[in-house]
Structure 1
């Protein structure tokens, strides 16, 4: 009887915690958790579990300055890939990142995950923003 009471109180606390989240926090959590799974499936093999990259071959995703300065291009980088030289955190990287076969929603989720992980804090990258940015790809 006592354990049922404790479990009931625990469940009530969980329900209250979820119910107290704002719509923005719920949206962020949905994008972030989905983005984590997409990152694991499509990005982690090269960029690493912690976004550390691979020495001089594959750039890290830990440079929030680079991500912030290129935020309107990130969706295009994922959709079309990147070819050529880029400099991240003062280190040059040259090579090719292949295009990812992801929907705009999947791109939004993975960008929300990346731009809010590995020391980055940028908030939600929603699908409307990604679609607008994809419309500007060169």
Structure 2
């Protein structure tokens, strides 16, 4: 009887703790988990399971400074691809990232995942931000 009572109380505490998440945290979790699946399907093959890239061919996604400095361009890189030289971790990469026909919400989710994984902590990149950034793409 005591075990059932303790189990019930623990269950209530867990349910209460989960239900206390803010709307902002719930939104982040939704974007992040969706972004993980999109990353696995569209990005992991080149950038690696841990965002490590591929030696001198494909840049890593572990450079928070590069990601922060280019935050407004990241949506464009995914939607329109990326050509030319970039420098990450003081290493030069020159090649081409192919165009990916993801919807803006998918771009927001995968960017939230990437910018909060592999040592990065940049918060939610939401749909409105991606749409505004995509309007500025050249």
Q: TM-score, normalised by structure 1?
A: 0.94
Equivalent positions of 1:1-138 (< 5 A) are 4-138=4-138
What do the CA deviations read for 1:13-60 (whole angstroms, capped 9, x no partner)? 221121111111111111111111111111011101110001000000
Secondary structure of residue in 2 paired with 1:83: strand
Tell me the number of residue pairs that the alignment of Structure 1 and Structure 2 aligns.
138
Q: Report the alpha carbon displacement of residue 4 of structure 1 after superposing the two structures with TM.
A: 4.4
Measure the CA separation in 2 of the matches of 1:10 and 1:58. Answer: 47
Give the secondary structure class of the aligned counterpart of 2:85. strand
Q: CA deviation at 1:132?
A: 0.1
2 CA distance for matches of 1:125 and 1:99?
20
Q: 1:78-101 CA distances to partner (integer Å, 9 max, x unpaired)?
A: 001111111111100011111111
The Cα RMSD (Å) is 1.3
> Matched residues in 2 for 1:16 and 1:7: separation?
14
Q: In structure 2, the residue corresponding to 1:53 is in which secondary structure? A: coil
Gaps in structure 1 of 5+ consecutive residues: none
Work out the CA distance in 2 between the residues paired with 1:131 and 1:5: 50
Q: Which runs of 5+ in 2 are unaligned?
A: none
